[in-house]
Structure 1
Amino acid sequence: MTLHAFRGSALHYLEDPLTHAEHASEFIEDALLLVEDGKIKALAPYAELRHKLEPSVKLVDYSGKLLMPGFIDLHTHYPQTEIIASYGKQLLDWLNNYTFPTEAKFSDASYAKSIAELFIDELLRNGTTTAMVFATVHKASADAFFEAAAAQNLRMIAGKVLMDRNAPADLCDTAESGYVESAELIEKWHGKQRLSYAVTPRFAPTSTPEQLHSAGQLLQTYPDVYLQSHLAENHDELAWVARLFPKARDYLDAYEQAGLLGSRCVYAHGIHLSESACERLAESATVLAHCPTSNLFLGSGLFDMQRISDAGIRYALGTDVGGGTSFSMFRTLAEAYKIQQLQQHSLHPHQSLYLATLGGARALSLDHLIGNFLPGKEADFIVVDPQATPLLSFRTAQCDSLTEMLFALTTLGDDRLIYATYILGNLAYLQER
């Protein structure tokens, strides 16, 4: 057995701050985190644990820095890495002018491999240790991502896109071929190391009813896989779905009729939802991924976190790279705060960081494995430097409380805050200075 010890301030969440305000978090100003064989062994004040350490155990001292569980990204597209920050279009134009031409390149397995490795490096540099990821329609693109994730022993979820209409011919599969290739990928990758598969129809307009039903059949055949797609992001998209699915009572029903709701189904956005759709999402335990930088960049609308919470819908956060404008969960949290401010709701920093860690793990039904520092959890964690920039150093020195410091971090922070990222207790990224 291999034991590693890390000293620093530590913060993690035990419950949702919305429902357990007094006991949701644990903060230890001078903590010792023990990791044994890749899993959390203990977290306690340094003064309590230091005398129990054998002299042979190496102590990594991060005093002055903050240890936190790794961030969890519910929605992102690795093939869109190269089109992040492309100018000036809303959703449907973005797809036709940027996304589809770029994704056509991913029929080349070596090209897909190079982008997958770059994408994963960016995740780790930004402190994201688990993500739910779209590949392209090409089977090779999913293989490339899983191979890159497996090489670093990451806990990741991904899938090949299903798309059999309203897209360029070289980016379309069929209901049958999409089923067969997805099943082959599930058999190859799902449950291997720390990897999981997500059945991935891009969104209702680019799949026929037949393909959506074949996706539902995959969920029935492989009940422990995930499903990921998009829902109610843009007003033009809603009108298009209504024309394409005239028998559906609303956008959600296009998926519901195919059996694509449930606790392992994650839909990005969910901005423009009827009361009925909210009720059905809650009843089915279906998850929404709030993607604030993407919603603002593409002009899609404002996610109403208060309404979604009150409806009892499960949700957490996604970067949605490349419609989203940053890999950084800190940048994502800053924009999430502003979106709620525009709706007269103040997002507390504890709620933000909960959503980025334990809340994300719960949304993915992975909180028995990741999301906080309870003993037995997998030791994916980050080291945050509150003095990462001159402004942060100055601002955090003025903070009189933990809450104030966390709010400064979630407002001013970006990738520079991530000093180090650990996967299963092993260093995966260290900032060069």
Structure 2
Amino acid sequence: MTSSTNTLIRAELVSFARNPGEGDKPSPGSLEHYGDGLLWLQGQHIHAVGHFSELAPSLPEGSEVLDYRGKLIMPGFIDTHVHYVQLDVMASYGRQLLDWLNDYTFPEECRFANHAHAEALSNAFLDEMLRAGTTTAQVFGSSHPGSMDAFFSACNKRQLRMLAGKVLMDRNAPEGLLDAASGIADTERLIEDWHNSQRLGYSVTPRFAPTSTKTQMDAAGALLRNDPTLWLQTHLAENSCELDWVAELFPGNQDYLSVYEKAGLVGPRSTFAHGIHLDNGMRTRLAERGANIAFCPSSNLFLGSGLFDRYAAQETGMAFSYASDIGAGTDLSGFDTLKSAYQVGQLSGQPLTAWQGFYGLTHGNAKTLALDSHIGQLAPSFEADFVVIDSNATPLLTRRIQRCSTLGERLFALMILADDRAIYETWAAGKCQHQRDQS
């Protein structure tokens, strides 16, 4: 199967070199597709990608090639906003945002004061992510620093590329979750221990404006100014009641976004989850600062928060990405996220093509997270994170795929009908880390 450095895989390969546009067909040069392709790995990186017939003569003598013909390989899926500490409250009876936090989220996150629990959930979450074909995510922990020590340690053992951070919250939450005395110091220690450790990056993580004082948010902004290689993740304009609460807590501000702007939290590595209730002025300001919105369609539908305006984002130049937002989201699967995004788009008169969906889930999400020089494409020198997809994973999927005559039709069928059963294998750092038939 492998030599000391080489792993050779023969399969159909699909990857996006750039945004394919909104048309029924991808724009010229954006799609890289090899019907009978070869993916050549050397260690943790991709050495070469191309047609099997063209690369085969240059293979080392005696090389064994893994034959995955009949399977489709794409870059590993990327999830830009997810709460690992909420894995066990998925599918709790629906509430709107603020009730959801008080009834489910806060009680659940109190459990992460126990380090053994954090270790167990870290590994369970990573198992589920890999089962779903996701190889990179931007992840919220709890407010306990140990929740992040456990998570980062579990990621390093698997050599995964991850962004994550301890939640900062010093008001409007249960006493066991408040970190007024230690939140910033704990964050500084976590950054020292884990930022740039192997494939890890640290995201400074104020939960959202209502649970952080101005003092705490200003301190978070200072961390970003002192180290521009850090990321920032929080929430913005998810729910109309949330907007009213922010206006009450921060009187005199222009709008919700200005609360974050004044704290220095809006920059080119800043991800704001949801962004449903924005006007074009806020979208333009986000675009000017290079920040992005994480579009969380299944969560928005589940909590009844509203419909993300993808076209308004594009018209104002505001970057956005695709995310599961577990645990209010209903599935860790990137397929499910795209299906929900398609449904949101249909309700808004903004249809999502398979080209846009799978570009967004791979190269597009990598670009919004400033990771596109490392992951998101099947290309030489990129890290070897990818998924092997079985388009015949279920009888229904097989029947539908048999009726498809083009790659676009097949990708759309996967976007709507596939689930984690279609993830045959998930590879990260050049190693197979999930096999469907052995899990």
Structure 2 unaligned residues grouped into runs of 5+: none
Match of 1:251 in 2: 256
SS in 1 for 2:437: coil
Q: CA deviation at 1:88?
A: 2.0
Q: 1:95 aligns with which of 88, 93, 101?
A: 101
Q: CA deviation at 1:55?
A: 3.6
Match of 1:262 in 2: 267
Structure 2 residue 66 is matched with structure 1 residue 60: yes
For 1:415, give the aligned amino acid: D
Structure 2 residue 370 is matched with structure 1 residue 365: yes
TM-score by length of 2: 0.97
Q: CA deviation at 1:245?
A: 0.6
Q: After superposition, what is the alpha-carbon deviation per residue over 1:218-257, rounded to whole angstroms, capped at 9, x for unaligned?
A: 1112221100000000000000001001121111011000
Match of 2:76 in 1: 70
Residues of 2 paired with 1:151 and 1:51: CA distance? 36
Q: CA deviation at 1:110?
A: 0.6
Match of 2:196 in 1: 191
Residues of 1 paired with 2:331 and 2:407: CA distance? 26
Q: CA deviation at 1:203?
A: 0.4
Residues of 2 paired with 1:275 and 1:344: CA distance? 18
Q: After superposition, what is the alpha-carbon deviation per residue over 1:57-112, rounded to whole angstroms, capped at 9, x for unaligned?
A: 33111100001000000000000000000002110000000000000000000100
Match of 1:298 in 2: 303
How many residues are aligned here? 432
Residues of 2 paired with 1:393 and 1:242: CA distance? 52
Residues of 1 paired with 2:78 and 2:231: CA distance? 16
SS in 2 for 1:41: strand
SS in 2 for 1:330: helix
Residues of 1 paired with 2:114 and 2:281: CA distance? 43
Residues of 1 paired with 2:319 and 2:350: CA distance? 18
Structure 2 residue 388 is matched with structure 1 residue 383: yes
For 1:172, give the aligned amino acid: L
Structure 2 residue 244 is matched with structure 1 residue 239: yes
Q: CA deviation at 1:7?
A: 0.5
Match of 1:115 in 2: 121
Match of 2:231 in 1: 226
Residues of 2 paired with 1:262 and 1:56: CA distance? 51
Structure 1 range deviating more: 52-61 or 329-338: 52-61
Q: CA deviation at 1:345?
A: 1.4
Match of 1:12 in 2: 15
Match of 2:217 in 1: 212
Match of 2:29 in 1: 23
Match of 2:6 in 1: 3
Q: CA deviation at 1:17?
A: 1.1
* Contact 2:140–2:167 (Cα < 8 Å) also in 1: yes
SS in 1 for 2:130: helix
TM-score by length of 1: 0.98
Structure 2 residue 358 is matched with structure 1 residue 337: no
Structure 1 unaligned residues grouped into runs of 5+: none
Structure 1 stretches (4+) deviating beyond 3 angstroms? Answer: none
* Contact 2:280–2:312 (Cα < 8 Å) also in 1: no
Residues of 1 paired with 2:416 and 2:120: CA distance? 32
The share of aligned pairs that are identical, in percent, is 48
Residues of 2 paired with 1:56 and 1:217: CA distance? 56
Q: After superposition, what is the alpha-carbon deviation per residue over 1:101-159, rounded to whole angstroms, capped at 9, x for unaligned?
A: 00000000010000000000001000000000000000000101001101100000000
Match of 1:422 in 2: 427
Q: CA deviation at 1:22?
A: 2.1
For 1:136, give the aligned amino acid: S
SS in 2 for 1:86: coil
Residues of 1 paired with 2:100 and 2:27: CA distance? 40
Q: CA deviation at 1:373?
A: 1.2
SS in 2 for 1:346: coil
Match of 1:138 in 2: 144
SS in 2 for 1:154: coil
Residues of 2 paired with 1:398 and 1:392: CA distance? 10
Q: After superposition, what is the alpha-carbon deviation per residue over 1:187-229, rounded to whole angstroms, capped at 9, x for unaligned?
A: 0000000000000000000001111101101111222110000
SS in 1 for 2:164: strand
SS in 2 for 1:357: helix
Q: CA deviation at 1:21?
A: 1.6
SS in 2 for 1:74: strand
Structure 2 residue 207 is matched with structure 1 residue 202: yes
